[in-house]
Structure 1
């Protein structure tokens, strides 16, 4: 494992910890899209079907369990915890996220590396992850004023994908025959979706002001 992938994994883990900190400590999910969190549950559940059949390493298994457990936990808290649930702004989080599922599944059935159930579901998870952040970005644009923890969460999610692109570039030049177009293109699309958010995030940081997206 190279430094870029490790940094990407740790950044992804940090994003989850920031969100859990917000939910558990402040008892609030204000500014957090339940729709995006539900999509991440589907992403991880479809990607890690091999968790009990194919052992790669202890690190790999632990990370899979962490992301599966945390994603289900976050959705449960937003939907079922009496205090956290009251802070969820359902009227603003109206992106029709289920409309993303069928196109991603059809694309996975058409474009994949190998036509097996686990491979198609893994490919589906890549396509879905590329667009899973859309409900969250739309919600932030509607609410405009973004609290610090929510901004940090979204920034870390975007940074994780950016670091993974650096990991792919590194492996392309250091490993023979390392070519995987599906995760590459999906990752680039996902990173581009963060471009507008990154611009305003760094602008707010540079000018020491509250993060605010344009309407």
Structure 2
């Protein structure tokens, strides 16, 4: 564990807390893509299959439980909560997210570090996480007018992955034989998808204006 990994984890956790604050306290999921949240639920379910079989540390187990539990809780709120679900913009959130799952699974079957069920499913989770934000970004481009909590949520989610990139660079230079090309490339792709959003987020912050994305 280093400061960059810890910062990435805390930023990721902060993004979840911001989204739960919006949904639970304000009782609104306006501007949030259910498609992206469902993809994240699949990502964490696939990645954390070892949660009850391989103990790494108490910290690791707690973080896994938080991300697993929160992802399904958010999906439940958006689908089932009688107040929150009313604010879901179903007409705008039309990205066919399930078409991302099969290509990621096929890619994991052909490009992996070791051909075992556990390793293939874990690799699948990396590929799917890299593109899971796409429905959310498309929704933001369609709605254009983004409230502060939604903007902060997406920014923190992107910042978490960017911090993980720094963590990997740090570990490459400080740990012998630390090479994980699949993880690195997937993380880089995921971070690049946020580049446009980051630009407009910082522009709005600098000008003290409401965040707008171009159509």
Q: TM-score, length-normalised on structure 1?
A: 1.00
Q: CA shift at 1:50, angstroms? A: 0.2
Residue matched to 2:112? 112
Residue matched to 2:31? 31
Q: CA shift at 1:107, angstroms? A: 0.2
**Aligned with 1:158: secondary structure?**
helix
Q: CA shift at 1:31, angstroms? A: 0.1
Measured in 1, the distance between the counterparts of 2:62 and 2:134 equals 28
Measured in 2, the distance between the counterparts of 1:30 and 1:76 equals 15
Unaligned runs of 5+ in 2: none
Q: Write out aligned runs for 1:138-157 (5 A).
A: 138-157=138-157
Residue matched to 1:198? 198
Measured in 2, the distance between the counterparts of 1:76 and 1:121 equals 24
Q: CA shift at 1:13, angstroms? A: 0.2
CA distances 1:144-166 after superposition (whole Å, capped 9, x unpaired) = 00000000000000000000000
Residue matched to 1:85? 85
Residue matched to 1:8? 8
Q: CA shift at 1:94, angstroms? A: 0.1
CA distances 1:125-156 after superposition (whole Å, capped 9, x unpaired) = 00000000000000000000000000000000
Q: CA RMSD in A?
A: 0.2
Q: CA shift at 1:44, angstroms? A: 0.1
Q: Write out aligned runs for 1:59-74 (5 A).
A: 59-74=59-74
Q: TM-score, length-normalised on structure 2?
A: 1.00
4+ residue runs of structure 1 moved beyond 2 angstroms? none
Measured in 2, the distance between the counterparts of 1:11 and 1:153 equals 10
Measured in 1, the distance between the counterparts of 2:115 and 2:48 equals 17
**Aligned with 1:82: secondary structure?**
coil
Q: CA shift at 1:97, angstroms? A: 0.1
